[in-house]
Structure 1
Amino acid sequence: MRRDHDGRRGRPSRVSDAPQRLGLSESFGRGARPVPARGGCCGTGAVAGDRVGEPASKRGILADGLGRAAPRIAGKDRRVKVVHAIAFAGRRSYGLGAVAGNIVAEQRRAGIDASVWCLDTDTEGADALRDYGLEPAAMRRFKATGPRSLGFSLDMERAARAADAAVIDVFHEHGIWTGVSHVVSSWSRRHRHPTVIAPHGAMAPWALRRSAWKKRLARWGYENANFSGAACFHATSALEYRDFREYGLRCPVACIPNGVKDEWLASTGDGARFRAKYGIEPGRRILLFMGRLTPVKNLVRLVEAWAATGTTARDWVLVLAGAPEFGYEVQLDERIRQLGLGDAVRAVGGIHGQDKRDGFAAAECFVLPSLSEGFGMVLLEAIATGIPAIATTGASWEILPKEDCGWWVAPDADGLAGALAAVFASPPERLAGMGRKARALAERDFAWRNVCRQTGSLYEWLRHGGTVPPFVKLD
């Protein structure tokens, strides 16, 4: 039996209902390497006597250099004030900005004083406000210092260190390896308030290997201090939780999945309009991929699996909707040409807004063949529109076959080919039935209002202590 930080008995740490259905309850606490017995969240920079699992207002990382406890950050008589910090909240952030923007929108509706700090331009910011249904007061934009790709703003740093920033109760960071981490860490050290870090897949082994030398510099420059000072990390899936422990993080982890907007659930799309816009014949059945065209998405392996299915795919077309990165489209185009799939694969570029909704309406199935995913937000959006999905074991979506609303396979040619063959052999009415189950799953387990309730409980625990929230893991 665990005890809370005031000496009272607390509930044993467990995960919430929604993460359990994602497989979190089966995976949390198992399969991680032993964590080094070192101070701090990642084993560096903590004050002696730091106690993992305590609220941030009592933990050593928020004490001064002499080990004196930091003061409580706010009384319980006012609503919590939270800043969600992210390099870019607009469309250039892909799914990351949507997560931050939608959390802010739902939290504001629930009475939390939440806002976004970002480096978007005025045009990008206006698009983001419209996309997430936010009023201008909910977003504070800062001018980037140096190359925008670094994600650093001296103006944001100054704002975080200013005296009036002390009224902010929690900084919730989305994404890592950018200059925003330096800002978040500076704010925490200056005002001795708690921070929550949500890497959103950026600590997966595949992600850590990419541009590893840059990440080593970032760790040395600011990220180690940011990790050490964090009161809590935020995992959106079982795989991400294990990534944290494999990395060596020792701090509490809040296990909270992403959500889907009520407005998205209520929206409709026009599949015929999508077909007409992108020249897809009415008789062709559509398998849709949506996301960045980048190596981690494993699209070369997907088209190889498609070719392996032979003539069973003749009535289908694979639509790739997304912007290319790292020159990956050259390799992908060459492989499509070698396999003779020029007529079977259509790349339509990045799509947003109503185009995106129309794409889901036109598709009979969605595929996310990634080698690694922190959560897979676009897959949630897909099933919420009522279509089944193929996911790989690179993402924590084992719930799909359990609920008979999709496939969960290895990210290799055999696994993907098997799932594709099953899709191609399924009549439209079978896929439509699976799609109805997929939508029911999204409505039941992944509403933003549930995410809002859990994050609100997390912030209150970080502010005032008490019983550990059931979705927070201390081991």
Structure 2
Amino acid sequence: MKILHVVDMISQQRGGGSAKVPYQLGEAQARLGHKVTIYASDFHAEDQLPPKGVELKKFHCALNLLGGVRITPSMVFADFSQFDIVHLHNYRTLVNIIAANKGRPYIVQALGSCLPINGLTIPLHNFIWRNLILKRASALIAIAEMEIGQYVAEGADSKRISLIPAGIKCNEFNRRPARVKDGKKRVLFLGRFHEDKSPVLLAKAIKILNRNDVILLMAGYDDGCEKTMRRQIKELGIEDKVDYIGARYGKDKADTYAMADIYIMPSRREVFGLTLLEALACGTPVIATDRCGVASLLPPECGLVVPFDEYALAKAINEALDKDIASSYREYRIKWAKQYDWSKIAPKIIEVYRKVLGT
């Protein structure tokens, strides 16, 4: 099968989960014997190498507008006719408008971006996104239960929606614990410093926790709220408990998960939560808010789920550290995460393609 993935940002360092999914899914599909291509903008991706076995075609991003709207006009002239199926990633992107109107069957995987909008642009939004992309899609993939409702609220037919979680490359994260033996407990935040990720909520929980043996590791890069976050951490008076360790990628990322006693996802809005799976694949226990899609699937051996509240989060962290859950059920967590390996997820998506194509 000739498969085309379309995404507006493919940078594996700056694109987040919406860049990881087409990149890693494409590689997994190529291993299954399919001919896979990715069309993406070159925004933050000038030096990005292609996935193994996949052709990566980068189109010049002529303009990046406030709010992440990337204008890539040269993709209009790209060849789409050679592909059997086109897989659109994210929802409201200009590259999706281009791809959806090239006469090829396509599916949409919004990856958490199919959220309601408000304001004067609603009529235009309804015409462009709902009518030109969503309602004409041959199929839709939801990565969590909550995303099914988001699609339906946008006017999608629930019969065209398949529930298939996102995946990870488990072999990259199966690391042995590398915890520093200094009597300290390391609580990890890893991700973009963005208000939806709520690093400040975690900082408030650390303040409430008031434990001298706890260090908060902040691994990530600024996506709009780092300045505010650092100011609030200073105002909370916990600067001595916070260690800013920068963004982590590849082996460094896996090592960071492995050295933590517990990984925290304090998000206020997270349709899935790939980093939870990555931490679990390292054997590290997790705590997530109930705003995270994958949280409802977590067995107690993997970690705890709490309301979006700093006091509830502080209580859960204290309980997890006192019980030293990092030392228990490590192999169980690694095994549990393996059900989300791309080797198991990619064939399910291929079946969606086959259903669309009638093959």
TM superposition score normalised by structure 2? 0.90
CA contact (8 A) 2:28 2:342 kept: yes
Q: Deviations over 1:326-375 (max 9, x none)?
A: 2x123222221222111112222222122212211211110001011121
Q: Write the distance in 2 (CA, Å) between the matches of 1:154 and 1:457.
A: 32
Task: Give the 3-state SS of the residue equivalent to 2:287 in structure 1.
Answer: strand
Match of 2:21 in 1: 99
Q: Write the distance in 2 (CA, Å) between the matches of 1:371 and 1:235.
A: 19
Amino acid at match of 2:166: N
1:266-345 correspondence runs (5 A): 266=174, 282-310=182-210, 313-326=211-224, 328-345=225-242
Q: Write the distance in 2 (CA, Å) between the matches of 1:215 and 1:94.
A: 27
2:167 matches 1:259: yes
2:10 matches 1:89: yes
How far residue 268 of structure 1 moved from its aligned partner, in angstroms, is 5.8
Match of 2:246 in 1: 349
Q: Deviations over 1:361-400 (max 9, x none)?
A: 2111100010111211111111101101001111122232
2:35 matches 1:113: yes
How far residue 218 of structure 1 moved from its aligned partner, in angstroms, is 5.0
2:337 matches 1:448: no
How far residue 324 of structure 1 moved from its aligned partner, in angstroms, is 1.5
CA gap of 1:87–1:146, structure 2 versus 1, over 3 A, is: same
Amino acid at match of 2:333: A
Q: Write the distance in 2 (CA, Å) between the matches of 1:216 and 1:147.
A: 24
CA contact (8 A) 1:181 1:223 kept: no
CA gap of 1:235–1:352, structure 2 versus 1, over 3 A, is: same
Match of 1:197 in 2: 108
Match of 1:394 in 2: 291
CA contact (8 A) 1:271 1:358 kept: no
CA contact (8 A) 2:287 2:303 kept: yes
Task: Give the 3-state SS of the residue equivalent to 1:425 in structure 2.
Answer: helix
Q: Which has the larger radius of gyration?
A: 1
Task: Give the 3-state SS of the residue equivalent to 2:254 in structure 1.
Answer: helix
CA gap of 1:128–1:452, structure 2 versus 1, over 3 A, is: same
Match of 1:377 in 2: 274
Structure number with higher strand proportion: 2
Percent of aligned pairs with the same amino acid: 23
How far residue 253 of structure 1 moved from its aligned partner, in angstroms, is 0.8
Q: Write the distance in 1 (CA, Å) between the matches of 2:122 and 2:238.
A: 37
Q: Deviations over 1:144-184 (max 9, x none)?
A: 2333742232221211xx4xx32311111111222112112
Please list every run of 5 or more consecutive structure 2 residues that lacks an aligned counterpart in the other structure.
none
2:358 matches 1:464: yes
2:67 matches 1:152: no
CA contact (8 A) 1:364 1:431 kept: yes
How far residue 437 of structure 1 moved from its aligned partner, in angstroms, is 2.1
Please list every run of 5 or more consecutive structure 1 residues that lacks an aligned counterpart in the other structure.
1-79, 273-280, 466-475
CA contact (8 A) 1:406 1:434 kept: no
Amino acid at match of 1:353: G
Match of 2:83 in 1: 168
Cα RMSD between the aligned structures? Answer: 2.4
CA contact (8 A) 1:182 1:223 kept: no
Q: Write the distance in 2 (CA, Å) between the matches of 1:106 and 1:238.
A: 24
Higher relative contact order (CA 8 A, sep 6+): 1
CA gap of 1:174–1:282, structure 2 versus 1, over 3 A, is: farther
Q: Deviations over 1:426-473 (max 9, x none)?
A: 23xx32213332211102x212111111011111000017xxxxxxxx
CA gap of 1:240–1:221, structure 2 versus 1, over 3 A, is: closer
